[in-house]
Amino acid sequence: MTPDVTPSLPEAELLYVQAQWLVPARARLLRRVAIARRRRVLDLGAGYGAVTGELVRRCGGRVVALDLAAEALRLTDAFAGAGRVNADAARLPFPAEAFDLVFCQCALLWMPLPVAIDEAARVLQPGGVLIALEPDYGGMIEYPPQAATRDLWLAGLARAGADPLVGRKLPAWLEARGFDVQVELLSELRPPSPDRLAFLRDLLTAEGERAELSRIAAEPGAGGRWRIVAHLPFFLITAVKREQGAGSVGPLTAPG
């Protein structure tokens, strides 16, 4: 992916809402990797900086926020205390082993996965950690059937250049590149927020799709907080780069 084909970011407000949904899971992962002792942190696919400030506050060193969308990085308040780099995840402008933590949230699905992981591995020092919180739209759980949005998400994301199944692919890709991988799934189920449809609305271009979304938004369901169940699986990944000679491999090739 090159700068002239940069995918359009959702509205900044929606990305901040999304970041709030993931606060407990993100905090748990960052505590596990001792974020306070991390000295060089890369916020990969930082977008409008929805998590950058949190990384700055919690880490013990320097944070660099990187995104392909130059306009997102111009929000100076969001990036206070962090460096900002406008670059492609497929060609990271950093030397080898420049970071001890790479953080990525809802961004790898927009990147060319093999080369992005290869680059993340290159800039991580041995023993460094990649933290990823990424969705898998193919595993959505929705009820009642007439309120289901899964097919709209799959079509809209694929058309926009994203990989809606990125979550399930990441563990194998990371292991093949020389990481020791630990995976959890987001477990808490909450009543769905109307904001979930705002994200989707921006992806839909066909008149029929928009009409279907409008119908779903008006779906009355059975009444009460749980009239609709909508659960998007998130893969919560902690991947540690192996020390040299501990099973690391060369350039990434497709597993399986």
The β-bridge partners of 104 are 132
The residues of the chain scoring below 70 in pLDDT are 1-10, 220-223, 245-256
230: which DSSP letter? E
Determine the longest span between alpha carbons in the chain, in angstroms.
58
Other CB atoms within 10 A of residue 49 CB: 27
Amino acid at 183: V
The β-bridge partners of 134 are 235
**pLDDT digit string, tens, across residues 97-123:** 999 999 999 999 999 999 999 999 999
Alpha-carbon distances, residue 179 vs 23, 70, 174, 176, 240 (angstroms): 25, 30, 6, 7, 5
Is 29 part of a structural domain of the chain? yes
With H, G, I as helix, E, B as strand and everything else as coil, classify residue 239: strand
d(CA 130, CA 13): 26
Percent of the chain with pLDDT over 70: 90
Tokens 């991988």, residue located: 181
| Beta carbons of 144 and 237 less than 8 angstroms apart | no
With H, G, I as helix, E, B as strand and everything else as coil, classify residue 64: strand
218: which DSSP letter? T
Order of all β-strands in the sheet with 99-105: 82-86, 62-67, 40-44, 99-105, 124-135, 234-241, 179-185
Is 42 part of a structural domain of the chain? yes
CA 26 vs. chain centroid, Å, equals: 11
Half-sphere exposure of 159 (CA within 13 A, CB side): 13
What's the pLDDT at 31?
Answer: 97
CATH number at residue 101: 3.40.50.150
Is 90 part of a structural domain of the chain? yes
Is 81 part of a structural domain of the chain? yes
The β-bridge partners of 63 are 41, 82
Is 106 part of a structural domain of the chain? yes
How many Å from the N-terminal Cα to the C-terminal Cα in the chain? Answer: 24
Is 169 part of a structural domain of the chain? yes
Is 256 part of a structural domain of the chain? no
Is 246 part of a structural domain of the chain? no
The β-bridge partners of 41 are 63, 101
d(CA 49, CA 69): 12
d(CA 27, CA 233): 18
What's the pLDDT at 190?
Answer: 85
Domain with 101, as residue range(s), is 3-136+162-189+229-241
Total of domains in the chain: 1
> Which element (helix H / strand E) includes 155?
helix 150-160
Tokens 């449809």, residue located: 197
